Structures are given as structure tokens and as C-alpha cells.
Structure 1
Amino acid sequence: MTVSHAKGFSLIELMVALLLGVVITLAATQMFAGNSRAFNLQQAQSQVQEEGTLLMRFLADDIRMAGLFGDDIAAQPGVVFAPITVGGKTLLGSGEGGSAGDSLTFTFVGDQDCLGNGASSTLIAQRYFLNNGGLYCDSSLAAAAIELLPNVEAFEVLYGIREGDETPPVISRYVTANQVGDRPVMAVKLAVLLSKEAGLPASVGETVTYRLLDQSVTRAVDSRLRRAFQRTVALRNFPWEA
């Protein structure tokens, strides 16, 4: 008669197996979390880069229209610093807003404003400004201002002015809105600070300072990814031959 002896796991072997399972699970969880953070960061970087590039391109194309006028419409200053009324609607002029961000107002003759409202060869006034963490545009053709892009933490503007009588004209220096006076504006410098949630590790008490033209913008080190964009736009309708 044959007797078979069944062998099982001892308590120590079961505990070792359980410990190994826990270690493997923790390692897999940490690897997944790390990959997830890397993916979120990469996605935020891609989105911020794309939004910043498209925004600066859009603004540059639009601002180049400043000062474009037809023969049958009285010429207006390209960049406007005082309140202006066009088509029965009054817009504030370009100005400095401190921590609230600058604003930029200009006029041109065209068929469409920054919000897609259309009219056939009419005088249009437009104003870009920062409000509640987003960049807005308002125009003489619009019923109300509309947010163009959220997560814009800063919007700074400088103006390239002509102070001499050189021919052809040259930009003497870049100044803020309250320094322009009656001097003609030949170019505009723009800077924006965009942000995006990226799940970055926060650091209590630490800050990062971003240089935007003549301003320094300080933000706490938190979970958001931030990047500054800058562009200089020459006003092509300035009388460069004068």
C-alpha cells in the first residue's frame, strides 16, 4: 500500500510570498504614477507651446492691420491711447494696467474684427485686455467682449516710438503707454505669460520670477506649468517713407 504525503506552504513561505507581492504592486504603482506625471507634463508643455505660438501669430497678424484706412474714410491714429467711439460704441484706449495687465487698442479699416464679426470695408476699433485670468478682445462691431484664450496670467505691451526726423524713420526706443505722448508709434512689443495645470510638485514658500518686457511677474511654485512668449510687430501701415 502506497501512502502519498501532501506538502503545503509553511507560514513563513506564505508571508514571504505576500511580501513579494506587495513589493511588486508598489513598484508597479510607482512606475504607473511616474509615467502618468511625465505624460501630463509632456501634454501640458505641448499645449502651452501650441497655444502661445498660435496666440502670438494671431495677435501679430491682427495688429499689423492698425492704421489701414481707405480713401473714403478719415484716417485715425493706428494705436489709440484715449477712449474712442466708433459705430456708436466707445472703447477704452491703450493703457497700463499694472498687475491687472496692459491693454492695447487700435483702429483700421477692414471686413472682419478679432471676433469674426464682419462688415464691408468699415472703420473698426479693437481692444485687447486681460480679465479674470484670460485674454479678451472687444471691438466696435461686437455686442460684448469675448475671451480669446484662458489661462493667460500676464499681458504686457511696449510701444516703439519715433523721436527724431531721420529718413527713413527709425524707432528711437520702446516705452509704456503713458510715455508715448504725441509721438508716432512704429511698432508694438507684446509679451504674455501662459499657464497650464501639469501636476507639478508644489514648493511652499518658493517663487519664480518671469521677465516680461519691462515688468517682472512673480508666481508661487505650484502644480502649474508656465511659459512666457514675446513678439515684436512692426506697423506696416506706418508711413515708413515719410
Structure 2
Amino acid sequence: MMRHANGFGLVEIMLALLLGLVMSLALTQIFATTKSTYLSQTSSASLQEDARFVLAKITQEVRLAGMFGCLGRVEDKSRGGQFSRAFHAPVEWNAQQRSLTLNTAAIDADRSWHTWEVHTDCASSATAWTRGGAPKPAEGEIALAVHRQIYRFNLEREELALNGQPLLSNVRAFSVLFGVASGVNAKGIARYTAQPDPAMIRSVRLTMTLYDPADRTQEYTFNVVAAIRNRLG
């Protein structure tokens, strides 16, 4: 008596293999898409975090630009009289060198690297000294640390540097415009320009474009406007 053998036929095996292959390809595609999305979101978040850190630092210093004490006049006893230029032009943008110079009050607790010290009694006298050459403040005087910060954009390296040290890489563009008033005593902003009269400056607009070198996300352009809190000029 003949018995029928139980099992799978060739057609069934081929169909099972084909179905398994289709499912494997679908899962692989889902995994690849998920990984690509994750890398894109991570890269985007990293660019935004870098921009937020750098622009927040610069805007904080912009708001303190020109804050050289309580008085409108400061006697310059710094080396070579360098403080006088900082006093009259606390914010400068050099379009050719792509550099932004900020002369600003210290915002950190460590004042060991400041450029100048201003000693003032906030009533009748204020004197500027070069770091390391300043005497002890006289009785009734306070010492205000002043930094010179130079941000320079290197187009060839696509890098933003601070005082000659690399600060941020993968920078496609960096530019500065100044919101200026129509007159010395006017408060509103009449227009934006790259080369203003210091006395007319009311705000600073920073524009920076960052990119991912691995091309995992699109380029991002960030804009921020910082108001000048201290009258310049």
C-alpha cells in the first residue's frame, strides 16, 4: 500500500523564500530610512545648538559694548593710547577682513585675560589702564574689566575664530549689519548699513550660515538682532 509523503513542495518553498525576501527588504528599507532621519535630525539639532551658543555669546557682548563705567569721559593711560579708539568705536566691522571687533565689559568671573581696566569713582574720575599695568584702585574707586573680542570669519577654512583661536567650524557665511538712527539723538532705526557712524548705531544684526560636512541635513541660516544698550560714539 502506497503512502503519501507529507511536506512542502518546490513551489511552496519558492513562495516562502520570496515572501521572506520581500519582508527582509522592507525591514531593511525601514531601518535605513529611520537611521537617515535620525542622523538628519541629530545633525540639524547640532547645527542649531552651535549657532545658538555662538550667537548668544556675541549678542551678550554686543549689549555690553561701550560699557566703560559710570561716566561719559575716561582718561586714557593705557599703553599706546589704545583705549581711546576702543572708547570711540566699541563696535567695528571690517568687511575686507570679515572681522567683528567688540570692546565690551567683562561678563565672566575670571578677569585674568581682560585687555584694559577702568578705575572710576562714578562721580568725577575714570581712568583706563592696560592689563598688568594698572595700579590698585584708589579708595572709593571700582575696577571695571574691559575685553577686546575679535571675531574673524575665515572663508577659505569656513571657520569662525575668536581672538585667533578656532571657535566654530563648517561656517558657510558670516556677515554683520548695523541698525542706525536718522540722527544722533534719534532712537529708532532708519536703515541697516555695514559702515555706520558709531554715534548712530542702535542695533547689530548678525547673519550666519552653517552646514553639515557629511551632507546629512540642509544648510541653515541664522539671524539675530542685538540692541545696543550703551550709547556709542
Q: Give the TM-score band, short-chain normalised.
A: 0.5 to 0.7
What residue is the counterpart of 2:178 in the other structure? Answer: 159
What residue is the counterpart of 2:30 in the other structure? Answer: 31
Query: Alpha carbons of 1:12 and 1:40: their partners in 2 closer, same or farther (altered >3 Å)?
Result: same
Shift of 1:4: 5.6
Work out which of the residue numbers 115, 121, 129 in structure 1 matches 2:152: 129
1:22 aligns with 2:41: no
Partners of 1:195 and 1:227 within 8 A in 2? yes
1:160-196 deviation per Cα after TM superposition (whole angstroms, max 9, x unaligned): 2344244x5443321113xx25754232111111222
Q: Normalization by structure 2: what TM-score?
A: 0.68
Task: Tell me which of the two structures has the higher relative contact order, counting C-alpha pairs closer than 8 angstroms and 6 or more residues apart.
Answer: 2
Query: Residue 19 of structure 2: SS of its match in structure 1?
Result: helix
Query: Residue 41 of structure 2: SS of its match in structure 1?
Result: helix
1:85-135 deviation per Cα after TM superposition (whole angstroms, max 9, x unaligned): xxxxxxxxx2114xxx8321122343759x986346444321112121222
**Higher relative helix content:** 2
**Higher relative strand content:** 1
Please list, as runs of the form range in 1=range in 2, the aligned pairs for 1:58-77 lying within 5 A after superposition.
Answer: 58-70=57-69, 74=76, 76-77=87-88
Structure 2 CA distance for aligned equivalents of residues 50 and 153 of structure 1 = 16
Amino acid of the structure 1 residue aligned with 2:25 = L
What residue is the counterpart of 1:220 in the other structure? Answer: none
Query: Alpha carbons of 1:51 and 1:123: their partners in 2 closer, same or farther (altered >3 Å)?
Result: closer
Amino acid of the structure 1 residue aligned with 2:88 = P
Structure 1 CA distance for aligned equivalents of residues 33 and 178 of structure 2 = 45
Partners of 1:133 and 1:152 within 8 A in 2? yes
Query: Alpha carbons of 1:229 and 1:182: their partners in 2 closer, same or farther (altered >3 Å)?
Result: closer
What residue is the counterpart of 1:204 in the other structure? Answer: none
What residue is the counterpart of 1:192 in the other structure? Answer: 208
RMSD of Structure 2 on Structure 1 (CA): 3.2
1:47-96 deviation per Cα after TM superposition (whole angstroms, max 9, x unaligned): 22322223222111012221121466535124354xxxxxxxxxxxx211
Q: Normalization by structure 1: what TM-score?
A: 0.66
What residue is the counterpart of 2:100 in the other structure? Answer: 104
Query: Residue 225 of structure 1: SS of its match in structure 2?
Result: coil
For this pair of structures, how many residues does the alignment match?
A: 191
Please list, as runs of the form range in 1=range in 2, the aligned pairs for 1:162-173 lying within 5 A after superposition.
Answer: 162-166=181-185, 168-173=186-191
Query: Alpha carbons of 1:128 and 1:165: their partners in 2 closer, same or farther (altered >3 Å)?
Result: closer
Partners of 1:153 and 1:193 within 8 A in 2? yes
Amino acid of the structure 1 residue aligned with 2:113 = G
Query: Alpha carbons of 1:124 and 1:50: their partners in 2 closer, same or farther (altered >3 Å)?
Result: closer
Structure 2 CA distance for aligned equivalents of residues 47 and 65 of structure 1 = 28
Work out which of the residue numbers 226, 229, 232 in structure 1 matches 2:219: 226
Structure 1 CA distance for aligned equivalents of residues 32 and 217 of structure 2 = 18
Structure 2 CA distance for aligned equivalents of residues 80 and 118 of structure 1 = 19
Query: Alpha carbons of 1:47 and 1:159: their partners in 2 closer, same or farther (altered >3 Å)?
Result: same
